[in-house]
């Protein structure tokens, strides 16, 4: 039997235990090899030690692709393919504990089998961390991190970053911040999103598209122009470990809620409303479910924090001109605390902003009921009354105009229009023959009305003459409009 040393095979396992032996058949090109998380494209043929083929992508005529180092394939592949260059062809001899183990992969691969793969690395792509797979955040690992944990949103992180654009460095510093708030320190969203996939002490190069950098605005503080695609080299030096919500005990949940509330208030004082809103939303998300102690002190504090969170969200939405969202948040507060003065006041403000003074007035009146000395609410009630009157006047004018318009259209469609009047609706061009017939009908109608009016006049005159001879009474006045050719 030929040994590894005799056929030129090299042990590529980190432990150097002989579990994965690699023999290069054809050298690849370039100096780079794919890193963990990269998508790799290969052709392969798999054999048992007796030479029988159990699988081949070449027979299928379609390359095989997978994400390297994520456990998508057997461990021997993750280790061996990571050492290959594009265009390289190598043979990997993989021991059972790096392959399918003692159980095998029946029926083709028996338990405890040593596997022999001839693999050609066709291509590889860096890992896309954008979440949308639009290649907006590409990661090229430089130094692997330790452990498997990564920072969670809202965790405190300490990083070193170096930004480069068109071959020149524009940023090089250590910075600490809460993950999700980096914009306040000119850390682009692409770096923040990528950090959620970093492990401790990892260093990676990130290539960002403008969407995940500073967009069409650029960054004046860093002298970065609009629509720039920068590259960042980032090292995760430390991070706060935050448990998932379902793993937290009541005190941990409340403590995290207090922390997020304080952070939100800090950003609100700095007029960074969007970051404040992000803090309050995350706080509400964590505290949305009841704690295990029923109506105990912890549960009372949870409800108080939750009401404060929703109330502050409504304030942020008012500042961001999102009144409908503010109304929704105030409703959430009042479900928890039905006598919350701030919620009624802010909902009243939101109703005014959407042009609903009647609803707004009810809320401001409730504020005055709860706090009779609230001058702002009293002034707002007067504002609501004024707006209601203005709305009624506008509605009155609008409906009057509508009724006149409808009446005019009714007259036009019922009777046409007579001499000296113009239609208020645009008519489609008529067929010449039909138009001539319509004109004849209108003229005949006018002639008929004129003749009827003439006969009526003569009759009245005759009656008046006869009556005058008999009783000497004055002739009666004709009804108003009788001589008007518009009369029907």
In whole angstroms, give the CA distance from residue 10 to residue 13. 9
CA angle in degrees (0–180, nearest 5) for 396-397-400: 85
Which helix (H) or strand (E) segment holds residue 173: the answer is strand 168-178
41, 54, 64, 140: the active-site residue: 54
Eight-class DSSP state of 225? P
- For residue 327, indicate whether it is catalytic: no
Strands 156-165 and 137-143: unpaired
44, 239, 345, 351: the active-site residue: 44
- For residue 54, indicate whether it is catalytic: yes
- Residue located via tokens 């590409």: 138
In whole angstroms, give the CA distance from residue 110 to residue 101. 9
11, 41, 55, 177: the active-site residue: 55
State CA 164 to chain mean position distance.
Answer: 30
- For residue 399, indicate whether it is catalytic: no
78, 79, 94, 100: the active-site residue: 100
Q: How far from each other are the two terminal CA atoms of the chain, in whole angstroms?
A: 119
**Nearest in space to 328 (alpha carbons), one of 269, 265, 389, 281:** 281
- For residue 212, indicate whether it is catalytic: no
98, 117, 214, 344: the active-site residue: 117
What count of Cα atoms within 13 Å lies in the side-chain half-sphere of residue 31?
A: 0
- For residue 148, indicate whether it is catalytic: no
Q: What share of the chain is helix, strand, coil (3-state, %, to 5)?
A: 45, 20, 35
E strand map for 179-260:
203-208, 231-239
- For residue 44, indicate whether it is catalytic: yes
**Nearest in space to 128 (alpha carbons), one of 116, 120, 118, 138:** 138
List residues with catalytic annotation: 44, 54-55, 74, 100, 117
């Amino acid at each position: 039997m030929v040994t590894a040393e005799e056929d030129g095979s090299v042990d590529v396992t980190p432990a150097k235990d002989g579990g994965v032996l690699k023999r290069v058949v054809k050298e690849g090109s370039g100096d780079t090899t794919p890193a963990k998380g990269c998508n790799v494209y290969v052709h392969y043929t798999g054999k048992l030690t007796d030479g029988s083929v159990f699988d081949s992508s070449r027979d299928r005529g379609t390359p095989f692709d997978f994400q390297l180092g994520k456990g998508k394939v057997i461990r021997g592949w993750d280790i061996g393919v990571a050492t290959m260059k594009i265009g390289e062809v190598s043979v990997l001899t993989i021991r059972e504990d790096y392959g399918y183990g003692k159980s095998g992969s029946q029926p083709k691969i028996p338990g405890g089998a040593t596997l022999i793969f001839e693999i050609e690395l066709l291509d590889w792509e860096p890992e896309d961390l954008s979440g949308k797979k639009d290649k907006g955040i590409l990661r090229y690992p430089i130094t692997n991190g330790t452990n498997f944990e990564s920072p969670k949103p809202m965790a405190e992180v300490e990083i070193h970053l170096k930004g480069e654009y068109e071959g020149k460095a524009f940023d090089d510093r250590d910075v600490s911040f809460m993950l999700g708030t980096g914009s306040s320190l000119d850390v682009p969203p692409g770096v923040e999103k990528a950090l959620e996939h970093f492990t401790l002490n990892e260093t990676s190069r990130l290539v960002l598209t403008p969407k995940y950098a500073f967009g069409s605005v650029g960054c004046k503080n860093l002298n970065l122009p609009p629509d720039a695609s920068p590259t960042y080299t980032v090292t995760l030096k430390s991070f706060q470990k935050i448990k998932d919500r379902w793993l937290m005990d009541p005190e941990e949940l409340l403590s995290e809620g207090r922390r997020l509330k304080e952070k939100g208030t800090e950003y609100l004082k700095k007029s960074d409303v969007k970051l404040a809103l992000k803090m309050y939303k995350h706080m509400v998300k964590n505290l949305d479910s009841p704690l295990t102690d029923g109506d105990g002190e912890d549960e009372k504090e949870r409800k108080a924090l939750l009401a404060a969170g929703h109330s502050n969200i409504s304030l942020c939405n008012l500042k961001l001109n999102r009144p409908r969202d503010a109304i929704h948040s105030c409703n959430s507060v009042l479900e928890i605390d039905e006598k919350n003065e701030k919620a009624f006041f802010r909902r009243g403000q939101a109703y005014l902003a959407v042009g609903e003074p009647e609803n707004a007035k009810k809320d401001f009146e409730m504020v005055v009921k709860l706090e009779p000395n609230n001058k702002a609410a009293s002034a707002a009630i007067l504002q609501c009354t004024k707006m209601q009157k203005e709305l009624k006047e506008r509605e009155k004018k609008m409906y009057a105009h509508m009724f006149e318009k409808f009446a005019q259209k009714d007259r036009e469609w019922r009777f046409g229009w007579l001499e000296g009047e113009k239609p208020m609706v645009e008519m489609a061009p008529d067929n010449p023959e039909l138009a001539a017939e319509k004109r004849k009908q209108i003229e005949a109608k006018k002639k008929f009305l004129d003749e009827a009016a003439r006969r009526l006049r003569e009759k009245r005159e005759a009656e008046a003459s006869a009556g005058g001879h008999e009783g000497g009474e004055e002739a009666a006045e004709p009804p108003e409009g009788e001589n008007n050719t518009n009369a029907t």
